[in-house]
Amino acid sequence: MTNRTNWPEPSCAAQRPADLDAFWHSCRAGLAPDELSESEEFSTPQASFRRLMLKGGEGTLNARLLRPAAPTSVLIDFHDIGRSARGYYYLSRYLPAGCAVLAPELPTDTALCCGAPDPDAPGGIPALLHTYKAALRTLRAARQLFPGLPVAVSGEGLGGAMALACAAQSDAVAVCTVLNPLPLDFRHAAAGTAADYYRPLIQWFRAQDPTRSRQKALFHALDYLDCMNLTPPEGCAFLLGSSRMDPLSPAAAQLALFRQAASVNKRQVLFDKYAHERVNWYEDAQLEFLLQHLA
């Protein structure tokens, strides 16, 4: 961990669309109902370890589900691109805090998550918008399974964007903890300085719009999905972990995101020598933050 003295000035080129709230309201309202089904894999005195399946008009979504006997809150843990949901052993770290845990299996392939940009499509990348909708379906399922309990959302990288979207779209989310969220600052990514995750976007410009004549329309569409426009509201406690060397989630944009967040209770933890990777120091800070704000 470090201080801010050797970090860049906060900066992000994302712009907030005038109809952002209406766009996301339409996304939520358009989600078809899901049929929920559970199957137990094994149990311990602390919890039942289960598989949850959501079936609806948006397709089938699977998740790991940990059910303690008497939960006091529910945590939704979203995984990053190129990874899968955390295993039961790791997820059980949240049980002593009284959390039931949901860990959905989201798409992990870059082409699915950030492929085929379309400036005429809502959100700019239909496959990525579908992933955001999967996150909102998971949030809805958590509220159905554990009505009345406070909800916490957590995620790293792409999972961080899913957590931010849930926090921004529901006042039921009491705590949001994220590490190096993305996509963040699409305009910076399209300059070609980022790695594989944004390659479909860079290639689209090269193949479909080499003169950048349609970039204004595309970036406007992408702004609906940019983490910068999905900051948690005032009543949601917010923890942001940021790695200065992350090529996918620019440090300057992360500082700007934290500054913009309206949360009354917010904390940013900075890591100088980390890139886009898991950070043990962050995981310790995250658990401490959850214990503090879900008590």
Task: Name the pTM for this structure.
Answer: 0.94
Spatial distance between the Cα atoms of 202 and 189, rounded to a whole number of angstroms: 8
Q: What are the sequence ranges of the domains in the chain?
A: 20-294
- Are 160 and 240 contacting, i.e. CB atoms less than 8 angstroms apart? no
SS3 of 169-217: the string is HCCCEEEEEEECCCCCCHHHHHHHHCCHHHHHHHHHHHHHCCCCCCHHH
In tens digits, what is the pLDDT along the chain, a chain of 295 residues?
A: 455 668 989 999 999 999 999 999 999 999 999 999 999 999 999 999 999 999 988 889 999 999 999 999 999 999 998 888 999 999 999 999 999 999 999 876 655 556 678 899 888 888 899 999 999 999 999 999 999 999 999 999 999 999 999 999 999 999 999 999 999 999 888 876 556 678 888 888 888 889 989 999 999 999 999 999 999 999 999 999 999 999 889 999 999 999 999 999 999 999 998 988 989 999 999 999 999 998 7
- Are 266 and 231 contacting, i.e. CB atoms less than 8 angstroms apart? no
Q: Is the dihedral angle over the CA atoms 36, 28, 165, 261 positive or is it negative?
A: negative
Spatial distance between the Cα atoms of 118 and 98, rounded to a whole number of angstroms: 43
CATH number of 20-294: 3.40.50.1820
Spatial distance between the Cα atoms of 182 and 253, rounded to a whole number of angstroms: 10
Spatial distance between the Cα atoms of 46 and 60, rounded to a whole number of angstroms: 29
